[in-house]
């Protein structure tokens, strides 16, 4: 029975992770008007799944880190009771945030539940391991992303202007229907007249305001392709970084094995993103800061470099913290940041770890009582 509990718990956690995290890598594609929600989600699902499957070869260190070994007693970390409590606590924490549309860190919630379940079991907590191996990378990564973005974006903007690349306008042509009431006639005799509508504006305005048959003159196809690539890199990096953290708990079910654990978790993450990512997607894409294509590309590129580098070093950084840090940086530089929403997100981050710890302790008491 305990084997079934931990399998279901870990798959629920993976589902919650996909729902809260999958769209984060492509949020700038949707937010800048480069593509629509469905296409962005499809790209995120494909690239995240590729990262998840690659994790079995490149992220062995993280598979070891998130079993809790070294943080709590080795004997406790190897028990199914402990693993199931950690998965259930972290999963519920992430699902609650997803329901509220708040982008939080699955990594942060996992750290909280590892501590809470360990405390409930009466285990000593390795404070040194907690600080250097978990909390330091989590706390440092958003500031690193924000700082790099604030420094790099003005340099890229200067280089763009130096090479003569300027913000363009587009010519939008489409059909419009006008209600016409001839003079001296009542409104009953009004008739419809089809006429040609022409408007000059920026690309994002044209794409958002008009539907149906339109034509836009776009001078930046290369930037759009790079934007897609950078978004794919972030999603790939997220799958590479997050999947082994969750799969590490499923390894406690020995019949599944390491590769099977990663494959199951990757599939559950993909399903969670497809079904339940809309609320967090709207927060990340539209409520943190306005952005154009170049700003979105910059944020994604910086995020992917930091997260992929952390995966290779075995550092449990949060893709959420890094990605949001980059967007905070863009908003700061352009002075378009929604500080009210940023404050709410930061508040959710502060609550994540203690809430995860409380739920981890609660579920450990409940599950250990079943035995």
Q: Tell me the pLDDT tens digit for each residue of 218-254.
A: 446 787 888 899 899 889 988 887 888 888 888 777 7
Lowest average pLDDT, out of 2-6, 88-92, 120-124, goes to: 2-6
Among 282, 288, 279, residue whose Cα is nearest residue 339? 288
Burial class of residue 26 (count of CB atoms within 10 Å of its CB; 0-12, 13-18, 19+): buried
Q: What is the pLDDT of residues 108-163, one digit of tens each?
A: 898 899 999 999 999 888 888 778 767 777 778 888 899 999 999 888 887 777 76
Q: What is the pLDDT averaged over residues 266-293?
A: 94
Average pLDDT, the chain: 81
Contact 239, 48 (CB under 8 A): yes
30 pLDDT tier (thresholds 50, 70, 90):
very high
How much is the pLDDT for 163?
65
Give the pair of three-digit tokens for residue 146: 């924000």
Give the pair of three-digit tokens for residue 132: 């250097």
Mean pLDDT is highest, among 189-193, 203-207, 333-337, for 333-337
Among 267, 235, 234, residue whose Cα is nearest residue 10? 267
Burial class of residue 303 (count of CB atoms within 10 Å of its CB; 0-12, 13-18, 19+): buried
Q: What is the pLDDT averaged over residues 268-292?
A: 95
Q: CA–CA separation, 154 vs 148, rounded Å?
A: 11
Per the model's pLDDT, the better-predicted residue between 348 and 184 turns out to be 348
Place of tokens 């040194």: 128
Among 82, 94, 128, residue whose Cα is nearest residue 242? 94
Give the pair of three-digit tokens for residue 103: 């982008």
Burial class of residue 287 (count of CB atoms within 10 Å of its CB; 0-12, 13-18, 19+): middle
DSSP-derived secondary structure letter, 286:
I
- Residue 131 CA: distances (Å) to CA of 71, 98, 111, 182, 244: 10, 27, 11, 77, 20
Question: Is residue 77 classed as helix, strand or coil in its secondary structure?
Answer: helix
Q: CA–CA separation, 265 vs 269, rounded Å?
A: 6
Provide the percentage of residues in the chain whose pLDDT is more than 90: 42
Give the pair of three-digit tokens for residue 282: 């709207």
For residue 176, pLDDT beyond 90: no
99 pLDDT tier (thresholds 50, 70, 90):
very high
How much is the pLDDT for 216?
44
Q: What is the pLDDT averaged over residues 194-220?
A: 43
Q: CA–CA separation, 42 vs 19, rounded Å?
A: 13
Cα 282 to chain centroid distance, Å, stands at 11
Lowest average pLDDT, out of 22-26, 32-36, 38-42, 74-78, goes to: 74-78
């Amino acid at each position: 029975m305990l084997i079934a509990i931990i399998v279901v718990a870990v798959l629920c956690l993976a589902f919650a992770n996909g729902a809260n995290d999958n769209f984060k890598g492509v949020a700038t594609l949707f937010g800048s008007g480069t593509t629509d929600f469905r296409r962005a989600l499809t790209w995120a699902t494909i690239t995240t799944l590729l990262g998840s499957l690659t994790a079995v070869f490149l992220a062995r260190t993280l598979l070891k880190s998130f079993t809790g070994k070294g943080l709590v007693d080795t004997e406790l970390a190897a028990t199914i009771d402990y693993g199931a409590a950690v998965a259930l606590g972290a999963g519920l924490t992430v699902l609650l945030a997803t329901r509220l549309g708040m982008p939080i860190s699955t990594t942060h919630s996992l750290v909280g539940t590892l501590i809470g379940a360990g405390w409930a079991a009466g285990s000593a907590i390795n404070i040194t391991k907690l600080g250097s191996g978990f909390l330091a990378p989590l706390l440092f990564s958003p500031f690193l992303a924000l700082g790099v973005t604030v420094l790099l974006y003005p340099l890229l903007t200067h280089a763009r202007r130096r090479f003569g690349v300027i913000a363009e306008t587009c010519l939008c042509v489409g059909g419009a229907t006008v209600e016409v009431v001839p003079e001296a006639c009542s409104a009953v005799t009004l008739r419809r007249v089809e006429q040609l509508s022409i408007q000059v504006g920026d690309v994002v305005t044209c794409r958002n305001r008009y539907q149906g048959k339109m034509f836009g003159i776009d001078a930046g196809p290369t930037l759009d392709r790079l934007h897609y690539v950078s978004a794919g890199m972030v999603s790939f990096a997220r799958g590479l970084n997050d999947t082994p953290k969750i799969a590490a708990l499923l390894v406690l079910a020995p019949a599944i094995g390491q590769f099977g654990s990663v494959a199951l978790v990757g599939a559950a993450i993909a399903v969670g993103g497809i079904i339940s990512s809309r609320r967090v997607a709207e927060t990340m894409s539209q409520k943190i800061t306005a952005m154009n294509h170049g700003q979105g590309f910059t944020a994604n590129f910086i995020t992917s470099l930091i997260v992929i580098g952390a995966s290779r070093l075995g550092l449990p950084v949060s893709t959420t913290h890094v990605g949001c840090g980059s967007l905070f940086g863009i908003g700061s530089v352009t002075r378009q940041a929604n500080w009210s929403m940023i404050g709410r997100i930061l508040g959710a981050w502060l609550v994540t770890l203690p809430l995860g710890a409380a739920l981890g302790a609660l579920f450990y008491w409940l599950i250990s009582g079943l035995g």
